[in-house]
Structure 1
Amino acid sequence: MSVLKLIGVLLDYPRDELWQHGEELLEACDDPALSPARRRQLQAFVRDLLATDPLDAQDRWLATFDRGRSMSLLVFEHIHGESRDRGQAMVDLIDAYRKNGFELDARELPDYLPLLLEYLAHRPQAEAKDWLHHIGHIAGMLAARAAERQLPHAVLLEILVEAGEGKVNLAVLRQRASEEVRDDTVEAMDRLWEEEAVRFGADAPSQDCDPPHRSPARAQPREIQP
Structure 2
Amino acid sequence: MNSLRLIGLLLDYPSEDLWLHKLEVVEAVNESTEINAQQRLALQQYIQAFCKQDLLDAQSAYTGLFDRGRATSLLLFEHVHGESRDRGQAMVDLMEQYRAAGLEIDSRELPDYLPLYLEYLSTMTVSEACDGLKDIAPILALLGARLQERDSAYSSLFDLLLAMSGSELASEDVRPSLQQEVRDDTPAALDAVWEEEQITFLGEQSCTSGEEAAHQKRFAGAVQPQYLDLDAGPLRVTTTEDARP
Q: TM-score, normalised by structure 1?
A: 0.82
Cα deviation code 1:28-73 (max 9, x no counterpart): 3333333343323212221122111111110010011011101000
AA matched with 1:20: L
Runs (5+) with no aligned partner, structure 1: 206-226
Is 1:88 aligned with 2:89? yes
Which letter does structure 2 place at the counterpart of 1:29?
Answer: V
Counterpart residue number, 1:142: 143
Tell me, in whole angstroms, the C-alpha distance in 2 between the residues paired with 1:198 and 1:96.
Answer: 41
- Cα deviation for residue 26 of structure 1 reads 1.0
Q: Is 1:27–2:37 an aligned residue pair? A: no
Deviations 1:84-124 (A, max 9, x none): 11000000111111112111133310000000101111112
Two-structure CA RMSD over aligned residues (Å): 2.4
Contact 2:159 2:170 in 1 (8 A): no
Structure 2 Cα separation of the partners of residues 33 and 198 of structure 1: 55
Q: Within 5 A, what are the aligned runs for 1:1-226?
A: 2-30=2-30, 31-194=32-195
Kindly indicate whether structure 1 or structure 2 has the higher relative contact order, using CA contacts under 8 Å at least 6 residues apart. Answer: 1
Q: Distance in 2 between matches of 1:164 and 1:144?
A: 17
Larger radius of gyration: 2
The question of whether the paired residues in 1 share the 8 Å contact of 2:2 and 2:122 is answered with: yes
SS in structure 2 at match of 1:179:
coil
Q: How far does residue 178 in structure 1 lie from its aligned partner after superposition?
A: 3.7
What is the distance in 2 between the residues matched to 1:64 and 1:176? 20
Q: Which amino acid aligns with 1:108?
A: E
Could you state the TM-score of these two structures normalised by the residue count of structure 2? 0.76
Task: Output the amino acid matched with 2:130.
Answer: K
Paired with 1:171 and 1:19, the residues of 2 have a C-alpha distance of: 31
Q: CA contact under 8 A between 1:19 and 1:50: conserved in structure 2? A: yes
Secondary structure, counterpart of 2:111 in structure 1: coil
Change (3 A) 1:155 1:77: same
Which is worse superposed, 94-103 or 3-12?
94-103
Q: How many residues align?
A: 205
CA contact (8 A) 2:35 2:164 kept: no
User: Is 1:133–1:164's contact at 8 Å kept on the other side of the alignment?
Assistant: yes
Deviation at 1:133, TM superposition (A): 0.5
Provide the residue aligned with 2:223 in structure 1: none
Residue identity in the other structure for 2:154: H
